Amino acid sequence: MPPLFDYAAQAGSAIKAFAEASSDLLIQPTLRLGVTGLARSGKTVFTTALIHHLVEGHALPAFEPAQAGRLRRARLVPQPDDDVPRFPFEENFSALTEARRWPGSTDRISQFRLAIEYERAGGWRSGPATLMLDVVDYPGEWLLDLALVDQSYVAWSRATIAGTRRAGRAEIAAPWLALMRDLDPTAPLDEVLAERAANAFKAYLAALRAGAESVATTPPGRFLMPGDLAGSPMLTFAPLDRLEETQVPGSLGALMERRFEAYKSKVVEPFFREHFQRVDRQIVLVDVLSAVDSGPAALAELEEALDAVLLAFRIGRNSLLSRFFAPRADRIMFAATKADHLHQSSHDRLDALLRLLVSRAMRRTEAAGARVGTVALASVRATRETTVHDGGEVLRAVSGTPEAGEHVGDEIFDGLSEAAVFPGELPADPQAVLDGAVPPGSFRFPRFRPPPVKPDALGRPGHLPQIRLDRAMQFLIGDRLT
């Protein structure tokens, strides 16, 4: 990025940060919470459940303001950024409670604002107060794109091609690599060839997502979640082999390099400047169980991806000056989702495994003055605990309604009948999981439908059950409601 542009961008960000911090301190306290996660981690469900419990004022045991009765009410109000789509809470809640289906995945940025009215906890600041909670929901794949900002096209191409040599990737990458071998970076630019190369590269990324490494990502993130950029030249480039440090003007390599730089300057940097660096608190949702079931290679990929996620954050304790000119995220939580797929006896083990995966990043973050938390949760609990008898052995299982077409062994479910499933147990030592103590395919759990939720006698929305969502809420916003 050219220095002049860099300085101008930083100046613009500082002005926006100053205006927001001034409003926070002098007019209306505001907290900006980012919600993200890698593929199929439950971002939309988490955000929907968060709104639901705050608006309905449920007495959540681990969320102190609600448990103490200090929450007066929370209501959805117009969001501050008119150029960001509104989070479709009502549609998602209807899908969960009426259709009993999971809402669609997060494929673009969205936002909502809640005005939370509460009673202060006491002391000299007792009395009513209001906190504006701005929640920004965005795909985690976009976050990993921030690593591209400091990379050149040549360095990115070489690193991406080198990544195909990892275990299990050679077969997936073969069609793309075969096409790339026939491409000469110094040949005259050809739009048709560029599109063919980009489509082959996107097919490789999609295959990675669908395979055993579905928890991991290889940027650019927008290639699989293009949103309104679908078909844009900024998304029509790919790595090339046999690149020189400087590209021949008018060549295929020069075209690809120009589009790579355009992607960084017009997609990645605006996201960082306008949304990401304004976040005060952040939760990163992680589907750890899918990685465990895919084997040690997928867990290693997940650990690397989570480390890259945390490196992207501007973190640390805020001083008065940093709050006004360069705000930092002072609390980050990593959450292992789908805890309801395991018996509660394995929940602490799931949390311990997540802590091990992010331990290196946690030490770095805490050294900067920020707080990092982990939790195993289910934003919406789809199962209940039960036991099953297997011969003379009693197994701790979970019971719910598997989706139609799901199966365990030879049993295929119809989407209507409940089933008790013994999913397996995590080892007590999380390091044993990383060392391969759990063979791939050891966990047997289908995808469950959301639980039945009925309105109460007054017609008010039913209560979506959850596991430790209240603990996450306390860590992320509880201290701002005292």
Residue 279: enclosing H or E segment and its boundaries?
A: none
What the block records as the tokens of 275 is 């949304």
Burial class (CB in 10 A: 0-12, 13-18, 19+), 293: buried
Please list the ranges in the chain whose pLDDT falls under 70: 1-26, 211-217, 314-327
- DSSP secondary structure string for all residues of 363-387: HHHHHTT-EEEEEE-BSS---EEEE
Tell me the backbone φ, ψ of residue 43, rounded to 5 degrees. -65, -45
* Closest by CA position to 261, among listed 141, 155, 142, 107: 155
| Pairwise CA distance, residues 340 & 380, whole Å | 9
Instruction: Quick: pLDDT tens for 421-455.
Output: 998 899 999 999 999 998 888 887 899 999 999 88
Mark out the alpha helices in 187-226 (DSSP H runs). 191-210
| Pairwise CA distance, residues 158 & 253, whole Å | 13
Spatial contact of 333 and 374, defined as CB atoms under 8 Å apart: yes
The separation between the first and the last C-alpha atoms of the chain, rounded to the nearest angstrom, is 43
Q: Which amino acid is at 165?
A: R
How crowded is the C-beta side of 398, counted as CA atoms within 13 Å? 27
| Pairwise CA distance, residues 165 & 471, whole Å | 41
* Closest by CA position to 399, among listed 440, 354, 443, 342: 342
pLDDT at 70: 95
| Pairwise CA distance, residues 329 & 122, whole Å | 27
- The CB-based long-range contact list for 74-83 (8 Å cut-off, 24+ gap) reads 74/114, 74/115, 74/116, 74/117, 74/133, 75/114, 75/115, 76/51, 76/112, 76/113, 76/114, 77/113, 77/114, 77/115, 77/132, 78/113, 79/111, 79/112, 79/113, 79/134, 80/113, 80/134, 81/111
Strand partners for 281: 33, 331
Instruction: Quick: pLDDT tens for 133-192.
Output: 999 998 887 878 888 988 999 999 999 999 998 877 889 999 999 999 999 999 999 999
Spatial contact of 397 and 379, defined as CB atoms under 8 Å apart: no
* Domain boundaries defined on the chain: 3-138+275-380+468-481, 150-266
Question: What architecture (CATH level 2) is domain 3-138+275-380+468-481?
Answer: 3-Layer(aba) Sandwich (3.40)
What the block records as the tokens of 41 is 């981690």
pLDDT at 277: 79
| Pairwise CA distance, residues 255 & 257, whole Å | 5
Q: Which amino acid is at 461?
A: P
The single residue listed with the structure tokens 């083990």 is: 349
pTM higher than 0.85 for the full model?
A: yes
Spatial contact of 183 and 193, defined as CB atoms under 8 Å apart: yes
What the block records as the tokens of 189 is 């630019």
